[in-house]
Structure 1
Amino acid sequence: MPNTSHRVVVVLLPDTIGFDATIPSMIFGEATSADGAPLYEVLTCALDDSPVTTTNGYRLVAQGGPDLVATADTVIIPGTRHVPSRRDGVLGPDLAAVFDTIRPTTRMVSICTGAFVLAASGRLDGLRATTHWAYADDFRGLYPNVDLDESVLFIDEGDVLTSAGLAAGIDLCLHIVRRDHGTAVANHVARMCVVPPWREGGQAQFIDRAVPEAADQTTTATRQWALGNLTEPLSVAQLAAHARMSARTFNRRFRAETGEAPGTWVRNRRLDRARELLESGDLSIDAVAESSGLGSADSLRHHLRRGIGMSPSAYRRTFSGTPT
């Protein structure tokens, strides 16, 4: 996408969650090209001229009206108590008319309970999605055609992306920057906002449990060890042995803490490492595959295409400008 042409429009619906509404401008507003040019234009809109009430005791004044939605490259719906979508499973006539103006190529994003709005529009039917874990049962009751997974921080379904509650919106917006412009830009944004560029775990770690796990019975230390040893086999048996747990116990606790199976987590971290190497260095594709633990160039090509739809050579050209 051209550096200065991607317009992000944040739709503020009463009562909006104030924290969620500030995330897009904070993250996308810090994304710049190498020469300092902004990579995104972020605007807020409301359905009318009235200040938008929030759940936090203040009101927000949007920059424009609903006509901005038709100009958006990305539309973001922050968390909201929007009654029609939260109670009745519909958009309501005013919002439905606005959604009808969205261009077919526009990327749709929700933060927290904004997923109820996307679901009410039908854009989540048949797709995986997430929302705040506390409202998962309500969501399933209203939108049975959506494959809801409340154990993860965010879900990327291509042109439709959803995040869990509150701070998970930061994770999702950083993911979008990373997907659009690469790891280096996303890491710069994270540093400027003083947040981690990538956060482990899923919502499962925040859901109330009757009996909390003992501090010495987590998989955190093993995950840190694995990150430093990505070129090792890292089988479940190896990981469990490092954590001093049975494979069954380790697998259960790992899933509870990260929202992913151990094998999936390891593969994704290897892919993260490969992307960093492709962006920042001039290693051959074979060397990148070996250094990231993916083994062979064919394996790297397979996982990169499956994960982000690009070959290693295309990824390097896109995000580093370095010829292969």
Structure 2
Amino acid sequence: MTKVGGGLTLGDTAQMRSGQTRPADTRELGGGVSLWALLGVFWILFVGQAWTRWALSDDQFAPAPIFGPDTFSDSSLAVLRIIELVSLVIAAVTIWTFLIRPLWRQRQLTLDGMIVIGSLLAAGIDPMINYFHYTFAWNAHALNLGSWLAFFPLHQGPTRYAEGIAWFVPQYLYLGIGLAAIECKIILALRRRHPGIANIRSFSMAFVVILLLDIVIEQLFVRTQVYAFPRTWDALTVFAGTQYQFPVYESVFVAAYAAGFTYLRMSAHDSPDGLPWVHRGIQRWSPRLRTPVKLLSIVGFCAVWAALSYFIPWSWMSVNADSIISVPTFMMPG
């Protein structure tokens, strides 16, 4: 193409005459931040209606009943309360570290802060674990206000059981942003020690570490009867047939959940402009709307990733379980 003037081509001048201009950066044309933000709006509306109807219900918004004849000893109850307290402390530290302190210092909402908010809202998906069957047994002695599964469309599982709010909501934080922070440190340490290491290798090594760590954490909860797994796949379960049976794929799903946030954070770290892949295309929005759109996109990602990495595969596997045990009556649904 023939050049004219200061390096412009005849094609450029033709575009100018027709009112068309070439974008300054073609990267602004890519990205799906708007779609992720739309998913975030959808999730807020969905979980908002579920929580609202649950709170206004006559029979669902109340502690789940505790059935006998099985009893939960005073010492076991004390351990449960300690676990709840420690969980709340960890949640508070996580919120302070990743949300409040950066917001206070930088006067802006950071990616980690958005992940914290998105993770707390993603906790609304939790009843889906019992969507088809009572495959995750909750201890009714835990601090709870029942469950909001009754307000999920087409559910088939029981709806009166004890969502242990004091310990399960914190799990969405420390199993998400908390484990992701650990994974990122492992990946960056591997990069420093082995320059040029492939992402697939560093991410896989970090994944295995988190997988093993979650197995240890889960054993604490199972052995103290905070929860149990009454329906599992025998071939993929340790201690199968006992009250402490543990499906190994539980930790695989948790590690996959954490890996999603790891990739999100690392994509921002590795990007020249500091943007994670979910925020690609944010330049198309006006500056005053960019922070809300970014937040909504992270909310959408958190909900979608929780569903894809954990709840959908878990619910599917619960349908064909073959290692089915009876749990103590204080873990039975009403």
TM-score above 0.5, yes or no: no
Normalising by structure 2, we get a TM-score of: 0.25
Normalising by structure 1, we get a TM-score of: 0.26
Specify which structure has the higher proportion of helix.
Answer: 2
Q: Which has the larger radius of gyration?
A: 2
